[in-house]
A and B are shown apart, each in its own frame.
Chain A
Amino acid sequence: MLKSRHLLGIADLEPEEIGLVLDTAEAMKEIAARPIKKVPTLRGRTVVNLFFEPSTRTRTSFEVAEKRLSADTLSIAVAQSSVTKGETLLDTVRNLEAMAPDMIVMRHASSGAPHLLARLCRSVIINAGDGMHEHPTQALLDAFTIREHKKRLDGLKVAIVGDLLHSRVLRSNVHLLNRMGAEVWTCAPATLMPADLAHFGVRPTTSIDEAVEGADVVMMLRIQHERMHGHFIPSTREYYTLFGLTAERVTRAKPDVIIMHPGPMNRGVEIDSDVADGPYSVILEQVANGVAVRMAVLYLLAGQEGEAD
């Protein structure tokens, strides 16, 4: 079982706990191969998916995972504007809690928002992405996908390339891969690197060729078009020239490299279509594995319900 009642971030997980989630996900993945893709594990439990930011992949993935475990689910997409009109996050969640849900899966634009709820609310909180902080289930499904292909995580060279500064996927993946013994290289323009990045326990570089060289895994991060406005990059065209993953650049990696992307992709900006759709790409496997990993997380957290914090 997991030590905490909540899943707020990979930073709070021990390596054994990460291993447990991944092992549990393997069993869950088998359910998706059955003709009847449903087990009664969470029957009678209520899970609220509370999304304060638009999300297709993560929200759908959680919903599918919950339904396959027979939970009663409720998905709420809250437009940021209606929140700024009045009700606070805490009031929104306390109102939902009055209807006695068991778990709340939350995506929020503010780093630390799920930590506020975990401190002040009753429900089990699962972080589905908070601001620029963490996206723990994404890192877990990434690790699951890597492990399926490489049979291990330790000793692998993993290159993470893209907008590191604004990325919660980066932060969760760095915590996870460091804990599991991988060697993490990070690559971004100097403008899109967090301060003190070297102290994250990674090898920072501004050369994508150096990052990709001999890599077992290349993980591309989305570059948001609006980044041009904060003086981060001159244009998406220049970004593509300097940092885009092309088939030519992939040849520098190990012959059995896998290419990953958490989505949504900007084809022709951070990644070429012939790479995204090519033989090394595991991008759609990541999506499939997302369901299994989220089933594992839901199952493991539901199991400890009622225990003291």
Chain B
Amino acid sequence: MSAKRLLLKGGRVVDPAAGRDGEFDVLIEDGRVARIGKALPAEGAEVMDVASGWIVTPGLIDLHVHLREPGQEHKETIATGVGSAVAGGFTAVACMPNTDPVNDHPGITELILRRAAAAGLARVYPIGAVSIGSKGEQMAELGAQKAAGCVAFTDDGRPVANALLMRRALEYAGMLGVPIVDHCEDPSLKGDGVAHEGLIAGRLGLRGIPGIAESIMVERDIALAELTGGPYHVCHMSARQSLRAVRAAKARGMTNVTCEVAPHHFVLTDQSLESPIRYDTNVKMNPPLREAADRDAMLEGIADGTVDVIATDHAPHHADEKLVEFDRAPFGIVGLETCVPLVFDRLVRAGRITIGRAIELLSTNPAKVFRLPGGTLAEGGPADITVIAPDAPVVVRAAALKSKSKNTPFDGWQLRGAVAATIVGGRIVYRSDTYEQNR
């Protein structure tokens, strides 16, 4: 049987993990990277021309995605979710366990992996629940879950509120070499809050969630991570006080603490609650959009290296669920398909970070933090590749998203920085309009 070969001709390969940044061709054979070099001959391989100025990078990896299956298939399915992922340039996603039932059991992990394999688009790495039913009472069988394919553990949607459980989970997960990911939020301080506590929520009469509801638990978790040495990752960080805590932990040499920030937290603020649409439920997420000082702190942390990962917290909800009173609407927005344009427009083009740093945040570090294959283009390694047109204009159209849900606050936004194509295991699984228009 003859080997299936694909040659990516032209383009700028940016691979921070390999220290590579320059014009190279990439030859793929049987789903793996065969060679990276200058002017490689096609020799019968299928040729994919990459326009000059376009970026060829190790496949992007999103550590925080809600695929909603099993149990909430009206919001998203694994098939539609991975369709959205590859359209957003992600070759792999880690999916959260707050499904129905909660993924606290190998049977559910296996179901997710089976459905993901059947969809055959992005790779899917399940994240298991820390506690049974994510109830925060009894630890789930983390060992069995790891054996079934879980790459991390979290009770996301809620925090691990019990400090003793968090301590034990960090110790136990440390033994397994798998990180604990915490949705940091002190339940009593959050209360029934629906928006960032501040002037705007006060004016709109919305119950507030203060930034320190998050940071107080980040501080606790860091103390527990320091005690136990267990690998610890902060979910969707939003408050400047949390960033300060992570920065201080890293400054004193803690290497087992990492954190992620979602694009909406470095792009938007609580001003979006008032305009352009007052009480728009598509700007309701948890943690909430915070004030400008918090947004600026996230930008700073992204630029100075405190932030390890950009993850989308892709949280699809059906239109009917969002078309209700603000305080009754569920938290969350879709994020997979708007991430690359937001990162390139608001971070790279704005001059805050280099393209190399963007790839670090979207591929190198996510692979490192969850100890996943990929994150670099090595000869013999998996051919998961994202091709990005960094200057191409993008108009976000909610209705055109591949995700089953359209709950985005970025509808109509004009940005620059488009996904051109997504390659998983050597197979081109997505070509965007930008790619087609350039042929």
Contacts and interface: CB of A to CB of B under 8 A. Distances in A.
Interface of A: 11, 88-90, 108, 110-113, 115-116, 119-120, 130-134, 168, 171, 194-197, 199-200, 230
Given A116-B279, A171-B203, A111 B320 contact: no
A123 to B, nearest CB: 17
Interface residues of B, number: 23
B372 to A, nearest CB: 41
Closest 5 CB pairs of A and B: A112-B279, A133-B205, A132-B205, A110-B325, A194-B202
B327 A195 contact: no
Contacts of A200: 199, 202-203
B277 A112 contact: no
B208 A110 contact: no
A192 to B, nearest CB: 12
Q: Is the interface of B mostly helix, strand, loop or mixed?
A: loop
B329 to A, nearest CB: 10
B229 interface: no
B168 interface: no
Contact of A195 (B197, B277, B278, B323): B197
A203 B327 CA distance: 29
A199 B208 CA distance: 16
Interface string B399-423: 0000000000000000000000000
Nearest to B274: A11
A89 B325 contact: yes
A133 B206 CA distance: 7
A200 B199 CA distance: 8
A115 B203 CA distance: 14
Contact of A110 (B201, B203, B326): B326
Contacts of B325: 89, 108, 110, 112-113, 116
A112 B273 CA distance: 10
A201 B328 CA distance: 30
B56 to A, nearest CB: 44
B198 interface: yes
B277 A171 contact: no
Interface string B185-207: 00000010000011101111111
Contacts of A115: 278-279
B205 A111 contact: yes
Nearest to A111: B205
Interface in B197-231: 197-199, 201-208, 210
B61 to A, nearest CB: 37
B324 interface: yes
A88 B278 contact: no
A194 B204 CA distance: 11
A168 B201 CA distance: 13
B202 A197 contact: yes
Contacts of B197: 195
Contacts of A120: 323
A110 B191 CA distance: 16
B103 to A, nearest CB: 28
Interface in B65-96: none
Nearest to A118: B278
18 contacts: A89-B324, A90-B324, A108-B325, A111-B205, A111-B327, A112-B204, A112-B279, A112-B326, A115-B279, A116-B323, A116-B326, A133-B204, A134-B205, A168-B205, A195-B197, A195-B198, A195-B201, A196-B198
Contacts of B205: 111-112, 130-134, 168, 171
A226 to B, nearest CB: 13
A173 B62 CA distance: 47
Contacts of A230: 191
Contacts of B202: 194-197, 200
Interface centre among B191, B198, B199, B279 (most CB of A within 10 A): B279
Given A132-B205, A196-B202, 6 more contacts: A108-B325, A116-B326, A131-B205, A134-B205, A200-B202, A230-B191
B323 A110 contact: no
Contacts of B204: 111-112, 133
A110 B198 contact: no
A197 B201 CA distance: 11
Nearest to A170: B205
B187 to A, nearest CB: 14
Interface centre among B191, B197, B208, B278 (most CB of A within 10 A): B278
Nearest to B278: A115
A84 to B, nearest CB: 9
A90 B278 CA distance: 16
A133 B204 CA distance: 5
A50 B386 CA distance: 54
Nearest to A8: B278
Interface string B302-335: 0000000000000000001001111110000000
B199 to A, nearest CB: 4
Contact of B278 (A89, A112, A168, A199): A112
A110 B328 contact: yes
